[in-house]
């Protein structure tokens, strides 16, 4: 259903998923369009970002931010247009980066909004991808924690996704040997042919661990961790002395409801960290690096302008398709950064 000017559709958390989310965990509601008061703006969502961290917000396990409440609008970054403004700093028609969540419209008092201007307006959804949070995550996690040096081997998981595709390309810019890990032949081909990785291996292949060992013949200096699980088990024995592991995400575990079966890997991990003096560091981009966004944005914009970065988007049309796209992303069905095209950039009828 398209946007209209009378109603605000929103998708709320109907229940906390147990394991993988299902359609029943989401509910679409329609409300009267809110009217902005003095000092407020009405924002219309054009693009909505879907990101794996949203799965964490649906759970009430302890985390670095409070969970979503039941019946609360699902959170999410958006690129929005100012429809009405009673705020001195914004006018109708301005494009902004907002955190409006899974809904057509949102009221704002202007706090936290970033006005979009310059080249990003040629491709506004990039403010949610290459030039936004995922790009920032790739840039800081790889360069600040991974500290890759020319000639070193960098391995990156979820290699064709929003973060991973940029990690590998930045590592190539820094002169590294890059091995990606992705799900399926088409993704691996894309990583090699379009993203320019030296190799990309399919983690679903029964011989994945042997292949990884063969293609990292000089060991692994930096492993950018987004996945965990079986992929990490294959990577760990190959880490070089003084290797670095930026721990960005553990998506293989996000839907887990019980500890994995099999031997306890913790002693192995601790022993490898000690013997090889590995640096293993988790990071949360929004909490740890906010002060360096300008540095990232300047450098990334320059690489984009020079044509040195490719960025594939998996565009899904319609807010009502967000739950299915989100469920699919956690299963690896997306091919590129998932963005929902909630509406066109023309005003709602």
Q: Which is nearer to ligand NDP, 4 or 331 (CB)?
A: 331
Can you list the alpha helix ranges (DSSP code H) found in the chain?
A: 53-57, 133-140, 162-173, 185-193, 208-215, 229-235, 266-275, 285-288, 293-305, 322-329
Q: Which stretch binds ligand NDP (CB under 6 A): 154-162, 215-223, 260-268, 292-300?
A: 154-162
Among 10, 87, 203, 244, binds ligand NDP (CB under 6 A): 203
226 closest CA partner among 204, 253, 201, 207: 253
CA–CA separation, 18 and 257 (whole Å): 7
* The two structure tokens encoding residue 183: 């799900």
Among 12, 154, 251, 327, binds ligand NDP (CB under 6 A): 251
User: How buried is 77 (Cβ within 10 angstroms: 0-12 exposed, 13-18 middle, 19+ buried)?
Assistant: buried
Q: Which is nearer to ligand NDP, 56 or 110 (CB)?
A: 56
Kindly write out the interface string for residues 127-146 of this chain, putting x where it contacts ligand NDP by CB under 6 A and - elsewhere: -------x--x---------
Q: Which is nearer to ligand NDP, 121 or 185 (CB)?
A: 185
Contact 339, 129 (CB under 8 A): yes
Q: Which is nearer to ligand NDP, 43 or 143 (CB)?
A: 143
163 contacts ligand NDP (rule: CB under 6 A): yes
Contact 35, 345 (CB under 8 A): no
235 contacts ligand NDP (rule: CB under 6 A): no
Q: Which stretch binds ligand NDP (CB under 6 A): 24-32, 142-150, 155-163, 170-178?
A: 155-163
Q: Which stretch binds ligand NDP (CB under 6 A): 40-48, 171-179, 212-220, 279-287?
A: 279-287
CA–CA separation, 176 and 178 (whole Å): 6
Contact 76, 53 (CB under 8 A): no
Among 76, 124, 148, 164, binds ligand NDP (CB under 6 A): 164
Counting residues that bind ligand NDP (by CB under 6 A) gives 30
**Phi, psi (degrees; rounded to nearest 5) at 118:** 75, -155
21 contacts ligand NDP (rule: CB under 6 A): no
Please give the radius of gyration of the chain, using alpha carbons only, rounded to the nearest integer.
Answer: 21
* The two structure tokens encoding residue 249: 């995400």
Among 36, 161, 243, 323, binds ligand NDP (CB under 6 A): 161
Q: Which is nearer to ligand NDP, 116 or 181 (CB)?
A: 181
Contact 235, 220 (CB under 8 A): yes
> CA angle 150-153-159, nearest 5°?
115
Q: Which residues bind ligand NDP (CB under 6 A)?
A: 51-53, 134, 137, 158, 160-164, 182-183, 187, 203, 226-227, 229, 231, 248-249, 251-252, 283-285, 329, 332, 334, 337
């Amino acid at each position: 259903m398209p946007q209209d000017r009378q109603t605000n559709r929103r998708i709320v958390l109907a229940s906390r998923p147990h394991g993988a989310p299902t359609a029943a965990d989401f509910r679409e509601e329609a409300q009267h369009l809110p009217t902005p008061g003095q000092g407020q703006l009405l924002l219309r969502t054009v693009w909505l970002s879907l990101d794996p961290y949203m799965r964490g917000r649906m759970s009430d396990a302890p985390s670095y931010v409070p969970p979503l409440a039941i019946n609360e609008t699902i959170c999410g970054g958006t690129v929005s247009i100012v429809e009405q403004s009673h705020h001195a700093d914004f006018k109708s028609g301005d494009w902004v980066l907002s955190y409006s969540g899974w809904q057509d419209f949102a009221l704002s008092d202007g706090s936290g909004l970033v006005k979009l201007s310059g080249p990003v307006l040629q491709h506004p959804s990039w403010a949610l991808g290459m030039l936004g949070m995922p790009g920032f995550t790739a840039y800081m996690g790889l360069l600040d924690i991974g500290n890759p040096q020319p000639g070193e081997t960098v391995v990156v998981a979820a290699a064709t996704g929003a973060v991973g595709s940029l990690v590998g390309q930045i590592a190539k810019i820094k002169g590294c040997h890059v091995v990606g890990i992705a799900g399926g032949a088409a993704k691996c081909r894309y990583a090699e042919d379009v993203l320019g990785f030296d190799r990309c291996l399919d983690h679903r292949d029964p011989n994945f661990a042997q292949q990884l060992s063969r293609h990292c013949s000089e060991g692994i200096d930096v492993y950018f961790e987004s996945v965990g699980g079986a992929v990490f088990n294959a990577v760990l024995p190959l880490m070089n002395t003084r290797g670095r592991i930026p721990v960005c995400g553990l998506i293989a575990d996000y839907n887990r409801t019980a500890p994995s079966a099999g031997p306890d890997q913790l002693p192995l991990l601790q022993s490898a960290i000690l013997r090889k003096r590995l640096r293993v560091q988790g990071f949360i981009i929004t909490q740890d690096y906010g002060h360096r966004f300008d540095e990232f944005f300047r450098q990334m914009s320059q690489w984009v302008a020079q044509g040195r970065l490719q960025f594939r988007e998996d565009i899904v049309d319609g807010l009502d398709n967000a739950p299915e796209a989100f469920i699919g992303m956690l299963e690896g069905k997306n091919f590129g950064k998932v963005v929902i095209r909630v509406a066109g950039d023309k005003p709602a009828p």
